Amino acid sequence: MSEDTLLKVENLHKVFPGNVYAVNGINFEVKNKQVVVIIGASGSGKSTVLRCINRLEVPTDGNIIFNGKSITDKSVDLNQVRSEIGFVFQSFELFPHLTVLRNVTLSLEMVRKMEPKDAEAKAIEVLSDLDLTDKFDAYPGQLSGGQKQRVAIARALAMNPKLMLFDEPTSALDPELVGYVLDTIRMLAEKGMTMIVVTHQIRFAEEVADWAVYMTEGKIVEQGHAKEMLRNPKEERTKQFLSSTLNK
Amino acid sequence: MKNTQIQKGRFENRTTFLIALVIMVFIIFMDIHVLSQTTGENYWFYSENQPSDDFTDVLMISPTDVYFTGITGTIYHSTNYTNTFTSIFSASSPLNTIDGNDTFLIAAGDAGYVTKSTDGETWIELDLGQAYSESFKDIEIQGDNIWLIGTNGLILYSNNSGISFVKQNSVRAEQLNSIDFMNASTGFIVGDNGLIMKTSNYGSSWITIDSKTTLNLNSINLELSSSPRIWIGGDQGLFLASYGATFGETFLVIDTGITENINDVYSPIFGIVWVVGDSSTILGLRGNEFKNIQLLETNATINFNAVYAINNEAIAVGGEIYFNKEGLVPVFSTDVDWSDWWFFVSEVEPLLLKGMVAAVKVIVVAIVVGFMIGLFMATLRTIRNRPLNIIATAYSDLFRNTPLLVQLFFITFGLPELGVNPPLFMDAVIALSLNTGAYQSEIIRSGIQAIPKGQMEAARSLGMTNVQAMKEIILPQAVRLTIPPLSNEAVILFLNSSLLSVIAYEEITRVGTIVANATFLYSKTFILVALTYFIVTYSITQILRSVERKLKIPGLGGGAL
C-alpha cells in the first residue's frame, strides 16, 4: 500500500440476514485528494460498500484500512474513525428539531469537544462557504431540498474529515436543484477533498472523478481512470449500463 | 359573506373562548376565600393578643362567643374568633373547667370552688351545702341538671340549675376526670386507674365498666347520632372507642401512633374527633376509618389541656391558645335542609375543592414519576440488550394487562401484609405511578421508534456516541411526537384517580360519595363532582396543547418528520 493511499478496501463481503448477498468480494483503493465514483444499477451494493466504510454496516468479511489502520478490527474506536469520515445521505438526515447552525455545531461540541463559541465560528465559516449565510437560524423544515443537502454537507465538512462519502446525494432532489449540490461537490474536489461518490450522474462523474468503479450484483465489473472508463468501457456490461443510463 | 367571516373568527377564537369559560366557571364555582385558606397543611393558628396564662378549659357557645378558664383563676371571653380577649372575672382559686348552655355558665376549680353566671359578666359563687376541699375536674349540664366531679371520687348533682347540690356515690375513690351524658338520665364518667362508670338513672347509682387498662383516663366525649360512639383519651396516648352492638360495654383500643398523654377529646359533629394532649399533640380523627389520623403539629412545645369545636372551627388551649378555621373535611351533617341549590353548592364546593387538591397532588406526582419510569423503560426496550428488553417488556405487560383497581388493592392492602405500610397518599402515588409508567413507556417507545433510522445513523456517522445521539437527537424528537398521546394519558389517569375513593383516599369522588350519602342528593352531587373533574381535565388538555405549540418545530407540520 503506497503512502499516498488513504483507504483500501480488501475482499469486502456483506451478507444481510436471510442470506442476502449484498457485497461479494470488493477491492479498491482511494488515494489522498482523489475523487472516486461508484456507479451501478439500484441494488448493486454501492451504498452498502459506503456504509461499510464508516461502519454503519458491519462487514461480514474482508478488511478496510483507513489512514493506515484497520477499521474492521474489533479494538478500533468507531466514534473516532467516524468523526474523520464525513457521510452525506441521500435523504439528508438533518436534525429537524435543531436550527441549521445547531445542526453543524452539535457534533463539534459533542465529539470534537469545542467551546460553543469556537464551534459557532467554525460552523459560520463552513456554512458561508456553501452560500448558506442567510439560513443560520432556519429549521431544516424551512429549507429547499438543495439547501438541506448543502447543510448536510456543511455538517460533515465542519468536522474536518479526511474522507467524504456521498451516498447518492442528488437522488432525492428535484431536477432543477441537482446543479447546486453538484456545484458544491465540484468545489470540494477543486479544494482537494478526498471523496467517494455514489451517483447516477454520469456526466458529472466524468467531469469530476479521478477513478470510477462500476458494480453489479455486489461485485466490481470494471474500474479505471474515470474519463477513460466512462467514455470507453472495456466490459460489455459496463457499456450496456452506461448507454442505458445516458439515454434516459 | 358577513356571516362566514364572523363564523370563521369565532372558530379561530374557540380555544381562547373555552379557556375563558373554564376560568369563569372556576371562579364562580370555587370561592376565592377557600382557595386562600387551603394553601397550608397546618390549619392551627396561634391566636395573637392572647393573655398569658395556663389555660385549663375552653367553652365555645359559638366562634364569636368563647370562654376560657386559666390556672390563675381568671375567666376570659373572646367575641371575635379569638382575635382579642377580655378578662371578665377572677376567682379566688385556680379554675379547672367551664361549661354552659343558653341560660347560664358554670366554672369550677380547686378547693371546692364553683361559680355561676347568667350573663357572662357577673359571677356568683355557688353554695354547695357544705365546704369541699376537693378539686373539681369537669362539669356536665343537661337542662337544669348539673354534675360536678373531681378528686377523691367526688360527684355533686343539682337538678335545679345549681341552687342546691347533693352528693352522689362514686363506686371508687379514684380522681374523676371527665363526664359526659347522652341525655339527662344516661351518662359516663372516666377517672384515674382506668376507671369507667355508667349511670342510667341521673347518677343515683353508678356501675363500673371494665376498661381493660389501669392507665389514667382523662377525657370522655360522646358522639351522638343514630349510631352513637364514645371516645376516651388517656395517659400514654391511650385512645378508646365504643360503638355498635356493644356500645357502652366494650371499649376498643384505637392505635393513634402517639405516646403522649391525651388530655381532652371532642367530637363536634358526626365523623370528626379532635384529640389534644401533652407536647403539642393535636390529632384529627376523621370518618369511619381510623386510618385517617392526621397529626397536625403546632409550632409550640406546650401541653394542651382542652379542645372544643363547632363544625369546622376548633380551639385548643393549654399553655397557649390555638384556633383552627377548618382543619378537616367533616363528614357531612345529615340534619340540614339541602333543597336550596346555591346553599348546597356553597356547602359542598369547599369539600370538592379539597378533594380536587388531594387528587391533583397525587396525579402530578404520579405523572412526573410515571414519565421518568416511562422514559427509562422505553429506553431499555429500544436498546440492543435482550435481558433488559425482557425486563422492560414484562413490566409494561404486567401493568397494562391487570386492572388498576387490583393493583391499587394489592399495594394498599397487600403490602402491609408483607411488612411495608406506606401512608395512604403513598399507596395512591405508587399504584398510579407504576400504572401510568407502563402506559407512558409504550407511548414513548412508539415515539422513539417513529423517528427514522437515518437520524440515529446521521448522529452516529458524525462520531456521536449512542447515548449522545439518544439524548440530543432521538429523545427530543420522540418526546415532541408523544405529547398528544401523553396528554391523553394524563387525562385518563386523572379520571382513573376516582378509583382512589375505594381505598378511602379523600379525592373528588370520595367526597362526592360522602356528600351524596349524607344528603341523598345524588344527581346534584354528582353533577358537581363531574364538573370538578371536567375543569381539571380540560385545563390539563389546554396546558399540554400550549406546550405542544411552544415546542413545535418551525416548518415541520403535524408532528410528522
Q: How far apart are the CA of B258 and the nearest CA of chain A, in angstroms?
A: 57
Task: Return the pLDDT at B129.
Answer: 87
A169-190 pLDDT, tens digit each:
988 888 888 888 999 999 999 9
Could you name the CATH architecture of A5-84+165-246?
3-Layer(aba) Sandwich (3.40)
Task: Return the pLDDT at B558.
Answer: 45
Residue B558 touches partner A, C-beta closer than 8 Å: no
Task: Give me the torsion for CA of A87, A92, A94, A99, rounded to 10°.
Answer: 110
Residue A228 CA: distances (Å) to CA of A81, A182, A211, B57, B168: 33, 21, 9, 113, 131
CA distance linking residue B378 with residue B392, whole number of Å? 7
CA distance linking residue B289 with residue B503, whole number of Å? 10
CA distance linking residue B402 with residue A67, whole number of Å? 57
Q: How far apart are the CA of B389 and the nearest CA of chain A, in angstroms?
A: 21
Q: Which of B384, B448, B456, B461 to mutate to test the interface with A (most CBs of A within 10 A)?
A: B461
Has residue B502 been placed in a domain? yes
A102-153 pLDDT, tens digit each:
999 999 999 999 999 999 999 999 999 998 999 999 999 999 989 999 999 9
Enumerate the CATH 3.40.50.300 domain ranges in chain A, comma separated. Answer: 5-84+165-246
B61-78 pLDDT, tens digit each:
888 889 999 999 999 999
* Cross-chain residue pair A107–B463, CB shorter than 8 Å: yes
Q: Give the number of residues written for chain B.
A: 561
Mean pLDDT score, A13-28: 93
Q: How far apart are the CA of B503 and the nearest CA of chain A, in angstroms?
A: 44
Has residue B201 been placed in a domain? no
User: Which residues in B lie closer than 8 A to residue A97 (C-beta atoms)?
Assistant: 476-477, 480, 553, 556
Has residue B504 been placed in a domain? yes
Mean pLDDT score, B440-455: 93
* DSSP string covering A175-207: HHHHHHHHHHHHHHHHTT--EEEE-S-HHHHHH
Residue B446: closest CA among B469, B398, B473, B479: B479
Amino acid, res. A211: W
Count the alpha carbons within 13 Å of B475 in the hemisphere toward its beta carbon.
17
User: Which residues in A lie closer than 8 A to residue B461 (C-beta atoms)?
Assistant: 54, 56, 82, 85-87, 156
User: Which residues in A lie closer than 8 A to residue B458 (C-beta atoms)?
Assistant: 87, 89, 93-95
Say if residue B3's pLDDT is above 90: no
A78 within 8 A of A29, measured Cβ to Cβ: no
Count the alpha carbons within 13 Å of A195 in the hemisphere toward its beta carbon.
28
* Cross-chain residue pair B555–A79, CB shorter than 8 Å: no
**Interior CA angle at B253 toward B248 and B258, to 5°?**
135
The beta-carbon neighbor of B461 closest among A56, A110, A139 is A56
CATH number at residue B493: 1.10.3720.10
Task: Return the pLDDT at B306.
Answer: 94
Inter-chain contacts counted by CB atoms under 8 A, chains A and B: 79
B280 within 8 A of B244, measured Cβ to Cβ: no
Residue B381 touches partner A, C-beta closer than 8 Å: no
CA distance linking residue B319 with residue B300, whole number of Å? 9
- B379 CB burial (10 A radius; 0-12, 13-18, 19+): buried
Determine which of B118-132, B180-194, B227-241, B336-350 has the lowest per-residue pLDDT on average: B336-350
Has residue B457 been placed in a domain? yes
B133-156 pLDDT, tens digit each:
999 999 999 989 999 999 999 999
Has residue B10 been placed in a domain? no
Structural domain for B375, as ranges? 341-551
> E-strand spans in chain A?
5-16, 20-31, 35-40, 61-66, 69-70, 85-88, 163-167, 195-198, 211-216, 219-225
Total Cβ atoms within 10 A of residue B140: 21
Residue B429 CA: distances (Å) to CA of B146, B334, B360: 52, 32, 11
Number of folded domains in chain B?
1
Has residue B487 been placed in a domain? yes
Return the biggest CA–CA distance within chain B: 105
* Cross-chain residue pair A106–B457, CB shorter than 8 Å: no
Task: Return the pLDDT at B480.
Answer: 86
Say if residue B5's pLDDT is above 90: no
Say if residue B464's pLDDT is above 90: yes
Has residue B186 been placed in a domain? no
Task: Give me the torsion for CA of B497, B501, B505, B506, rounded to 10°.
Answer: 100
* Cross-chain residue pair B556–A82, CB shorter than 8 Å: no
Mean pLDDT score, B184-213: 92
* Cross-chain residue pair B454–A91, CB shorter than 8 Å: yes
Task: Return the pLDDT at A247.
Answer: 66
B199 within 8 A of B192, measured Cβ to Cβ: no
Say if residue B34's pLDDT is above 50: no
Q: Which of A53, A110, A149, A166 to mutate to test the interface with B (most CBs of B within 10 A)?
A: A110
Element (H, E) at B195: strand B195-199
Task: Return the pLDDT at A174.
Answer: 87
pLDDT band at B394 (very low <50, low <70, confident <90, very high): very high
Task: Return the pLDDT at B396.
Answer: 95
* Cross-chain residue pair A79–B465, CB shorter than 8 Å: yes
- List the 134-173 stretch of B: residues with Cβ below 8 A of A: none
User: Which residues in A lie closer than 8 A to residue B454 (C-beta atoms)?
Assistant: 89, 91, 93
